[in-house]
């Protein structure tokens, strides 16, 4: 564990970029051989989603600086409930506790994005994608990037999560998020076993189903246990999942980068009952 601590205590930002790019590339290539959906223009779809990298970058940089300052302050003042619980000096215990706490916080953040209309208008950009594949991970409006990272700053501040444990979790989170958005599914037996604890591609695709109540289920980030605990878990057969959102059914809106960037500033569209 000491080597892991040492690595994540000083890991360059470029390593996260390599992990994200490499995971997307691997999953994107696997999708070509075992896709759940194959009747779409994959190149065009990927290009639209990849464009979100550029407006997100300055937001990520700014909030990343703020996050680093929060961690430094927390560490200097031993602030946050993770720093106040005896026994959390053991690195494995500390990491597991940090992972569980931040994963629960991410679940709460995701629920809030769905329930608050003004925030949903940013999050709907992600849900409007009509095919879930590895590049859907990139499809996040910079307004949502700002909100998401602001919540993360708050979560880290009140929890006192240490830098290396946070970075270790983020590496797992990056790979998981790309994986669960990907356009493939796990073998049935593996799906059954892993879906008791972890979010799988099929479970996350249910979250991307275009109709209620499924859109408001399976909020989990890496772990599905919070959905099982709080009653927001649901399942569908692959053949019954239709990815997208019923308030934005037209590809002329959902496949145009400029219209997607303007989407949060349009009129709120009420979901059909």
pLDDT in tens, 99-133: 999 999 999 999 999 999 999 999 999 999 999 99
- Please state at what angle helix 142-159 crosses helix 53-77, rounded to 10 degrees: 10
Rounded average pLDDT over 31-52: 95
Among left, alpha and beta (phi > 0; psi -120 to 50; other), residue 218 is left
Spatial separation of the C-alpha atoms in residues 241 and 232, rounded to whole Å: 17
Given the structure tokens 């409007």, which residue do they identify?
Answer: 128
Mean pLDDT to the nearest integer, 194-221: 97
Mean pLDDT of 69-91: 88
Q: Residue 83 has what pLDDT?
A: 86
Rounded Cα gap, residues 148 and 142, in angstroms: 10
Give dist(CA 247, CA 128) in Å, integer: 8
Q: Is the pLDDT of residue 90 over 90?
A: no
- The pLDDT value recorded for residue 85 is 79
Segment 220-247 mean pLDDT:
96
- Say whether 262 sits in a helix, a strand or coil: helix
pLDDT at 215 over 90: yes
- Residue 63: pLDDT over 70: yes
pLDDT for position 87: 67
Q: Round the average pLDDT of the chain to a whole number and report it.
A: 95
115's tokens = 């329930």
220 CB contacts (<8 Å, ≥6 apart)?
A: 103, 107, 110, 199, 203, 226, 227
Q: pLDDT tens digits for 143-153?
A: 999 999 999 99
> Residue range 135-158: average pLDDT?
98
For the cut 70, the answer to whether the pLDDT of residue 273 exceeds it is no
Mean pLDDT (whole number) for 231-238: 95
> What is the mean predicted confidence (pLDDT) over 181-203?
97
The answer, yes or no, to whether residue 46 has pLDDT greater than 70, is: yes
Q: Which residues contact 111 (CB under 8 A, 6 or more apart)?
A: 219, 232
And the tokens for 88?
Answer: 């959390």
Distances (CA, A) of 204 to 114, 132, 137: 15, 9, 12
Cβ–Cβ under 8 Å, residues 199 and 220: yes
With H, G, I as helix, E, B as strand and everything else as coil, classify residue 243: strand
Using the predicted structure, report yes or no on whether residue 262 has a pLDDT greater than 70. yes
> Residue 33 pLDDT > 70, yes or no?
yes
Specify whether the CB–CB gap between 60 and 143 falls below 8 A: no
Residue 243 main-chain phi, psi, to 5 deg: -80, 140
pLDDT at 88 over 80: no
Cα–Cα dist 174/23, whole Å: 8
Q: Which helix (H) or strand (E) holds 3?
A: helix 2-9
């Amino acid at each position: 564990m000491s080597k892991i601590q040492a690595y994540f205590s000083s890991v360059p930002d470029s390593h996260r970029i390599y992990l994200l790019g490499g995971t997307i590339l691997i999953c994107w290539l696997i999708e070509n051989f075992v896709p759940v959906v194959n009747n779409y223009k994959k190149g065009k779809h990927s290009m639209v989603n990849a464009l979100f990298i550029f407006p997100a970058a300055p937001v990520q940089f700014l909030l990343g600086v703020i996050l680093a300052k929060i961690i430094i302050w927390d560490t200097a003042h031993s602030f946050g409930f993770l720093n106040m619980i005896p026994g959390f000096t053991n690195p494995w215990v500390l990491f597991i506790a940090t992972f569980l706490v931040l994963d629960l916080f991410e679940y709460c953040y995701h629920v809030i994005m769905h329930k608050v209309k003004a925030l949903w208008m940013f999050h709907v950009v992600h849900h409007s994608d009509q095919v879930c594949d590895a590049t859907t991970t990139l499809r996040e409006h910079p307004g949502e990037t700002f909100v998401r990272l602001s919540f993360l700053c708050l979560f880290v501040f009140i929890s006192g999560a240490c830098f290396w444990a946070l970075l270790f979790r983020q590496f797992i989170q990056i790979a998981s998020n790309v994986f669960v958005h990907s356009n493939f599914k796990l073998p049935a037996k593996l799906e059954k076993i892993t879906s008791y604890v972890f979010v799988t591609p099929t479970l996350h695709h249910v979250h991307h189903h275009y109709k209620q109540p499924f859109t408001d289920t399976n909020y989990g980030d890496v772990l599905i246990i919070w959905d099982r605990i709080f009653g927001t878990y649901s399942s569908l057969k692959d053949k019954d999942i239709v990815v997208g959102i019923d308030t934005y059914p037209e590809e002329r809106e959902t496949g145009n980068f400029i219209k997607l960037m303007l989407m949060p500033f349009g009129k709120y569209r009420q979901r059909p009952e």
